[in-house]
Amino acid sequence: MSASYKSLPFDVPTYLAGVRRWVECESPSWDGEAVSRMTALAAEELRASGAVTQHIPGRMGFGDCVFADFSPEDKRPGILVLGHLDTVHPIGSLVSRMPWKEEDGRCYGPGLYDMKGGNYLALTAYRELRKAGIALNLPVRFLLTSDEEQGSPSTRELIEHHAAREKYVLVPEGAEPNGRLVTGRYPTRRFQLWVHGKETHAFLQREDGKSAIIAMAKALVNIDGLNGPECSYTPIYLEAGLKIASVPVSAYAEISSTAKEDRLLEEAFQKLHHVIDEPGITAEVRIKAARPTWTPGPQDEEIWQVARGVGEELAIALDHEMLFGGSDGNITGAIGIATLDALGPVGANAHQVTESIDLASIAPRGRLLAGLMATLK
């Protein structure tokens, strides 16, 4: 009897031992050197698994990326596994607030759920297919990037370039607790807000100054007041002042927004220009990063139907949805490439110290990924 993806082993302890190396190579988005170390580690494993890799130097202060081709002699459009290696957790999280641990059927660690666990599971799925001698219909390639958690400002063109050459894109982002796959995502924007005041001595000329910190505080309260059912505004970063006895002249904030339509985010950009109206204070607003709407198309329905069929073969009841929470799937889906997202382990609490994956989901999701790689034509 020929081997089948349905019977691939996916030994959970072996998987955890491998992905732990990735998790313990901490890689916050804003630390380009740390992300590049993670990229080098991933590239080493990709090559050991039979891929020819291309090192892609980082841009705009972000870390390096890696492209891996497991069939470089096959030039046909194929399957692109698209993931990111950056996380939201600062260096030292492993020892200070979120150590690696396995407990009550779950595994915890910085970036395990979002999304090193899914990346490693996709690589494991490919390796298990090759080990079992299961033939693939299409070439498989990986693109692992460095700035997704920042909105992919430096890699969007890179992602579009590689995705446009493929027939399908698989995004192994961690799945929500409901286990649903994602066939569309709503748009996001990351805005930058600068506030400029007037610098004076904090004791001798305080009344002559214009505090950028006070003005920014008022602006953030006004921004919070813009939240509504159609569009959200979440301040996510703030810096101001020089730790000296001066009325601060500048302040900077970043605001993350999402809505159901790009039009609403364009309106959000305009509204941010009016959150400060104070004599002596000036403000500047820019768009740092933007994810377009990924509206499900017929090509996404096609890949979903394949996934549903694989799920039936595996006795997994699958469903799908259009979801908030941007990913690089927004980028590939928006340019019309058949994209399937949230293929990684089922988990919970992304971007929190309690982020984790469900150990019972590892083998089924691994077989699902393997089944897609083996079945897509």
* CATH assignment of the domain containing 284: 3.30.70.360
Domain C-terminal end among 291, 314, 333: 291
Q: What is the CATH number of the domain that holds 89?
A: 3.40.630.10
Within this chain, do residues 157 and 271 fall inside the same structural domain, yes or no? no
Residues 65 and 172 in one domain: yes
pLDDT band at 2 (very low <50, low <70, confident <90, very high): low
Q: pLDDT tens for residues 188-200?
A: 999 999 999 998 9
Element (H, E) at 97: none
Are residue 214 and residue 179 in the same domain, yes or no?
A: no
200-226 residue pLDDT tens: 988 888 888 999 999 999 999 999 999
Let me know whether 287 and 331 are in one domain: no
pLDDT per position as a tens digit, 228-265: 999 999 999 999 988 889 999 999 999 999 999 999 99
Q: Which of 291, 323, 355 is the last residue of a domain?
A: 291
* Same-domain status, 109 and 257: no
Confidence band, pLDDT 50/70/90 cuts, at residue 151: very high
Residues 176 and 212 in one domain: no
Choose the catalytic residue: 26, 31, 69, 86.
86
Per-residue pLDDT, 207: 87
Q: Does residue 1 carry a pLDDT above 50?
A: no
Closest CA to 30 of 188, 149, 153, 156: 149
**Cα–Cα distance for residue pair 136/148, rounded to 1 Å:** 29
**Domain residues for 305?**
5-186+292-375
Supply the pTM of this predicted model.
0.95
Number of domains within the chain: 2
Give yes or no: residues 151 and 138 share one domain. yes
Residues 110 and 98 in one domain: yes
Q: Are residues 247 and 122 in the same domain?
A: no
Residues 203 and 112 in one domain: no
Distance in angstroms (rounded) separating the CA atoms of residues 119 and 113? 10
Q: Which of 31, 69, 128, 148 is catalytic?
A: 148
Active-site residue, 86 included: yes
Does one domain contain both 196 and 180?
A: no
Same domain, 143 and 278: no
Q: Cβ-count burial of 193 within 10 angstroms (0-12 exposed, 13-18 middle, 19+ buried)? A: buried
**Closest by Cα among 48, 337, 25, 361 to 174:** 361
216 vs 160: CA distance, rounded Å: 36
Domain end (from 265, 291, 317): 291
